[in-house]
Amino acid sequence: MTLETFLSEKKPALIEKWFNLILATYPADTSSFLKNQKDRFTNPVGHTIYQGIEKILDELVQGVDLDRVSPFLDNILRVRAVQDFTASQAVAFIFSLKNVVREEIKGEKNLTVSCDELHKLDSHIDALALASFDIFMKCREKLYDIRANELRNMTFRLVQRANALGGERDAESESPPEGSNNDNA
């Protein structure tokens, strides 16, 4: 049996173990909620993580296509980027997959895995980790972007009016900046 076939067969067990490891990064009360509440709207974090790792494992078995796997990494990291995690804690769940797979291999007596196969798998997981760093950074940058946009929009109408007082309403001042806005009404 090749490692690829083994991973396919063991997918449900791998998902369960990986999911539990990720949930263990939350406080105990939280992780039991994230695990046990099955409604995707009541428990969007648990659902997002579960659905995400399921798809990531699918990809891993087939060889990693970052274009296909990125949206699922994004879903998970977008959540962890605003929770109480440092950058390393937020992306560490990808590395924990290495341990999950190795534990599962150890328990399978009929499987012999070559160094090459294992190296290939590790490389795929490393590629996922690197992509995760990029996604995490994009999420953080987006947060600062939103903050800046809110500030800009708060004064946008004022600036627009000031421009109008000073002369013609120019095309640039006619279009509000993209993104979010804020007020404290």
Interface ranges with another protein (CB under 8 A): 24-30, 33-34, 37, 39-45, 48, 78-79, 82-84, 89, 92, 95, 98-99, 139, 142-143, 146-147, 149-151, 153-154, 156-158, 160-161, 164, 174-176, 179-185
Taking only Cα atoms into account, the Rg of the chain, rounded to an integer number of angstroms, comes to 22
**Using CA atoms, how far apart are residues 4 and 57, in angstroms rounded to an integer?**
11
Place of tokens 């290495």: 98
Measured from the CB atom, the residue of 114 and 147 that comes closer to another protein is 147
**Contact assessment for residue 48 and residue 75, using Cβ atoms and an 8 Å cutoff:** yes
53, 23 contact by CB (below 8 A): no
- Identity of the residue, 8 or 45, whose beta carbon is nearer to another protein in the bound complex: 45
Smallest distance from another protein to CB 75, Å: 9
* Shortest spacing between CB 126 and another protein, in angstroms: 12
Query: Shortest distance, CB of residue 81 to another protein, whole angstroms?
Result: 8
Strand, helix or coil for residue 27: coil
In terms of C-beta density within 10 A (0-12 exposed, 13-18 middle, 19 or more buried), how is residue 11 classed?
A: middle
Please, which residue, 115 or 158, has the CB nearer to another protein?
158
Q: Which is nearer to another protein, 68 or 147 (CB)?
A: 147
> Helix crossing, 66-80 with 44-62: angle to 10°?
150
Type of residue at 163: N
Nearer to another protein, 40 or 68 (CB): 40
Are 86 and 124 within 8 A, CB to CB? no
- Min dist CB 84 to another protein, Å, is 6
